[in-house]
Amino acid sequence: MIYAITGGLGFLGFNLAKHLTSKGHDIIIFDNMSRKGSEHNLQFLKQLHMPKKPQSITTVTSDLDDIPTKLKRYKVDLIYHFAAQVAVTKSYESPASDFRINAEGTFNLLRSVDVPVIFSSSNKVYGDNVNQIPIKEEQTRYDFDGEYSEKGIPETFSVDASKHTYYGCSKLVADIYTREFGGVVNRFSCLYGQSQFGDLNQGWVAHFIISKLKNQPVTIYGNGKQVRDILYSDDVVKLLELEALNIEKIRGEVFNIGGGYKNTISLLELCEMLDIHPMFEGWREADQKVYYSNISKARRILNWKPEIDAKEGINKLQKWWEDNKNLL
C-alpha cells in the first residue's frame, strides 16, 4: 500500500509512519516542518528504514495550501490527514489562521482527491455541552455524575452546543466535511507517547515530563482536578491501521477515541506520579472539567481497545525522554 500522511512529521504522523514503513508500506509525508521535533523525526525515519528500502519514505516540505496539487504527483491508496493548527489557545490568538488551516485546508484537500481520508478531529467539537453534564468533585479529580459516569461521551452526544472554542468550530467544520466526502473521523481525546514534544498549549503529559527533566516549573490553569482519558501512541497507531484495513466498511463513520474510563487521569494525579509541585493560575476559557471517551463503537466495529494503561504509558514516555535528553 501507498499511504500519504499530512503532518507526517508531527507526533501522531511520525509514529504512524514509523509503524507503517516497518510493515513494508510506502509513505508519502507532507509537512511544513514548523513543529519542534520535526527535524528529529525526519532523521529518525531515514536512519531506521531508508538504508533498507530507500524509496519507502518520500517527504515533501509543503504548506497546507500546496498539498492538493502536490498529491496529484503520487498514486496513493489512502490519506491520513493530521496537518492542523492544534492548540485551543492559538485559535483565540489567530482565529482566521485557525479556520484557514483546519476548516478550509481540510475542505480543499477532500475535494481534490478521490481516495479515502482518515481525519484527526477533536473532542472539542462537543463544545460547552460537555460542561453541562453534572459532575462530582473528589479529592484529586472531578468525574461525571449520572448516565455518562464510567462510560464516557459517545459519538451520538450533541455537537450543537451554545458555545465552542474557535478551535472546536474549525475542527467541527472539517469533521462534517470529511464524513460528507466519505472519509473517516476520529474525535481524539488526549494522545501521548514517544517523540511528543509537548508544550504549554498542546501535549500536556509530555509537557509535564519535559518540564520535570528540565527543572522548570509547571503551571496548572484551574485547580488541577480536570480529568482526561489518555491514549498511548502505540494504541493509536493500531487503531489507524485497522481503519485503513477496514476502510470500505467504515467510510462516513465517526469514532470517539481515547483511553476510555480505565485510563483517566487528572492533572493533580499526574503531578503526584511525577513528583511535581505545580503553580496555579485561573481557569482557561472553555476548559472542560471532565472529558473521557466512550470507546465502545471502535471496539464493536473494529475489535480495537487500548492495550497500554496510563501508568505503563507514562513510564514509557518518561523513560524515552530520559534517554533522549539531548533533544530538549
Which residue's C-alpha cell is 483511553? 259
How far apart are alpha carbons 97 and 241 in whole angstroms? 31
CB 274 within 8 A of CB 149: no
Of 34, 30, 28, 35, nearest in space to 11 by CA = 35
- 190-192 and 227-232 beta bridge pairing: parallel
| Three-state DSSP class for residue 305 | coil
Task: Please name the residues in contact with 224: beta carbons below 8 A apart, sequence gap of 6 or more.
Answer: 266, 267, 268, 271, 278, 280
Of 60, 2, 55, 53, nearest in space to 30 by CA = 60
Residue 221 known to be catalytic:
no
Task: Determine which one of 142, 167, 192, 261 is catalytic.
Answer: 167
285: buried, middle or exposed (CB in 10 Å: 19+, 13-18, 0-12)? Answer: exposed
- Please provide the DSSP assignment of 4-27 as one string: EEETTTSHHHHHHHHHHHHTT-EE
How far apart are alpha carbons 3 and 11 in whole angstroms? 17
Cα 203–Cα 120–Cα 240 angle in degrees, nearest 5? 100
Q: Which residues are catalytic?
A: 167
